[in-house]
Amino acid sequence: MIIGYILYKTKLITDAGSKTLGNILVYIVIPIVVVKAFLITRTDETTINMLWSFALGALSLFIAIIVGLVVYKTKNGALNFAAAFSNCGFMGIPLISAVLGDNAVIYITGMNALMAILQFTYGQYILTKDKSIINIKNIILSPALIALLLGIILYFCNLNLPVIVATPINGIQALNTPLAMIVMGVYLAKTPLKNIFIKPKIYLFSIIRLFIIPFITIVIFILFPVDNKVLLTIIIASSAPAGCNVVIFSQKNDLDTEDGILAVCQSTLFSIISLPLITMLANLLLELI
């Protein structure tokens, strides 16, 4: 992130360059990461854990959506959107891969695809209050959904890809963590730091996104008799800061982006502290239960 910040400030990367990197992540790298997660030997245990992860991912999104609705109702569509949808793609996948290993990424794929669908539907609705803008075609052609379906097919067919295919997949997958963090650093560099810290409502948002939603998720999740690795995967994903899509969809619909930008930037900065704390708390409680 620091590298991305410096690159932007020294004009070695531009807004157009940052957007291009983001497109590479969304349309190439993250789908490859999702597909790669399914290229493992199929076992009954992994299949059961995967099904649990789909259900728990949906539950974690439901929790975040309900909290966002209770706090913001119709007052602030951008902060409602940002509370409901964490950055489980750009930040969640790299973090889970680093903390729990590449094999754990399979447990976030369902949540990622469902989030993409909800952002195109429910997300756009709470921003605009206009049901007519929901585009079914965009949902069907979502990179996350296509990658999920392809990965599931490969998993259940138990296919071994030839080296000529597997080698570039491994190489592209390795781009995910550094590229995502560089893009986040560029995003932070675009916003004057003083603006991130002057609005009380943004502090309240960060508390909700980084602490309240994850804490509620942990309390509910410890009731489920599921592998701790699966539980931790979804908890980390749901504890990530606000995702950049709140800004992207606001721009797409010609809405004010200020609150979205500030929410993303402040929660991303504060997540450097909150994510380790939430992960340690979750790990401690899961071991005690």
The most confident of the ranges 74-78, 138-142, 178-182, 281-285 is 281-285
For 186-198, the pLDDT digits (tens) are 878 887 878 888 9
For 24-48, the pLDDT digits (tens) are 887 888 888 888 888 888 889 889 9
Confidence (pLDDT) at 229: 92
Q: Please indicate whether residue 67 or residue 123 has the higher confidence score (pLDDT).
A: 67
Domain ranges of the chain: 2-288
**Candidate CATH numbers 1.20.1530, 1.10.1060, 1.25.10, 1.10.10; the one for domain 2-288:** 1.20.1530
Indicate the pLDDT class of residue 289, thresholds 50, 70 and 90: confident
How far apart are alpha carbons 221 and 179 in whole angstroms? Answer: 31
pTM assigned to the model: 0.84
Indicate the pLDDT class of residue 3, thresholds 50, 70 and 90: very high
Confidence (pLDDT) at 54: 93
For 107-160, the pLDDT digits (tens) are 988 888 888 888 878 888 898 888 777 777 777 877 878 888 898 898 888 877
49-58, 73-82, 248-257: which range is least confident on average? 248-257
The 3-state secondary structure of the chain reads: CHHHHHHHHCCCCCHHHHHHHHHHHHHHHHHHHHHHHCCCCCCHHHHHHHHHHHHHHHHHHHHHHHHHHHHHCCCCHHHHHHHHCECHHHHHHHHHHHHHCHHHHHHHHHHHHHHHHHHHHHHHHHHHCCHHHCCHHHHHCCHHHHHHHHHHHHHHHCCCCCHHHHHHHHHHHCCHHHHHHHHHHHHHHCCCHHHHCCCHHHHHHHHHHHHHHHHHHHHHHCCCCCCHHHHHHHHHHHCCCECCHHHHHHHHCCCCCHHHHHHHHHHHHHHHHHHHHHHHHHHHHHHHC
